[in-house]
Structure 1
Amino acid sequence: MTPTFKEIVPVPALEDSTPFAYSQCVKVGPTLYLAGQCGLGDDHEVVSPDFADQARRALDRVRLAVEAAGGVLDDIVTMTVFLTDTRMGRVFTGLRKEYFGDRFPASALVGVSSLMPLNAMIEIQAVAVLGSGMRDSGARDSGTRDSGGRDSGTRDSGGRDSETRDSETRDSETRDLGGRESGRGDRDA
């Protein structure tokens, strides 16, 4: 077995974290461990007193770290999100949908009393596996569009559209394990 070593991945788009005694991104094999990212600007201070602004910046910083290692957001397999106000959880999940589409990482949302630096309201720590996600944005948005440019259906990883999946689901619900009609809904309780 070939030994796997820890590699510190430089993230030029983020501030140097060595004065704070941590690494922004550490790679072991294809796995990336991302340091907690807050909504910070280049001066290492929070970008705004607004939660949504901080959350967007934290998500952008996570993306920058993954990209520095050659990955994409979709390579993120899990994230732990720390919030100083858990009432902002729904705001965060709405923003996460903008970044991840419908391919969400596993996640935990944890309420904390405070974060570093002062006035930070969110911190996101994540783990990614390089090569595990979709490589281009077109693959994530593979639905068909009508003449007005509106999404007219979405496709799953097998290329089936939502109508096909719904039909297959209905068909499978009406057959038992042996493939016989189950008469579901018509049975006596």
Structure 2
Amino acid sequence: MRLRKLQGLQLFAEAVQGKKIVYLFRIKSKAASNDAKAIAFTTENGRTKSKDADSTMTKDGPIRTPGTTETEITVSSILAKGDELIDELEDAMDNDEMMEVWEANLAEPSSGSNKFKGMYFQGYLTSFEKTSSAEDYVELSLTFGLNGSGKRGDVTVTAEQQETAEYVFADTQKTGA
């Protein structure tokens, strides 16, 4: 991590833009035949960890006992016409199929081609909402309830998948279409 000295008083790390954190999804039963995919037109992602704690009153004051950590990943996106991944995810929810989810930080490349610092999770799609108003695009809101707390490691993100985070350079020559 590169640090800069600012005015000789404080050190600040470079900030990571939200579009540099991408999520990839796959139905676990399809791991042998399918690569993970990004959801098209994602507008926002989030990862939340929370835990409840019980309080026990003692003569010396309350003591807290932490509960189990619960982790969720949320996705908001605009529905892409013909998006088969969304149909697969909804069917997987209906059939209680285990999902795999990768979080990759494209601002932090690691060793190897198309490898980035990230995390791996397994869990289930627990909420699926499709909202269609008269004047806007169809919006999707998905929530994944995850097992455990995830594992850190290097995530492979192809050049095509990286396009979800930013445009890649295109030359002025015709592409042959």
TM superposition score normalised by structure 2: 0.28
Q: Work out which structure has the larger RCO, using CA pairs closer than 8 Å and 6 or more positions apart in sequence.
A: 2
Q: Which is greater in Rg? A: 1
Name the structure where strand makes up a greater proportion of residues.
Answer: 2
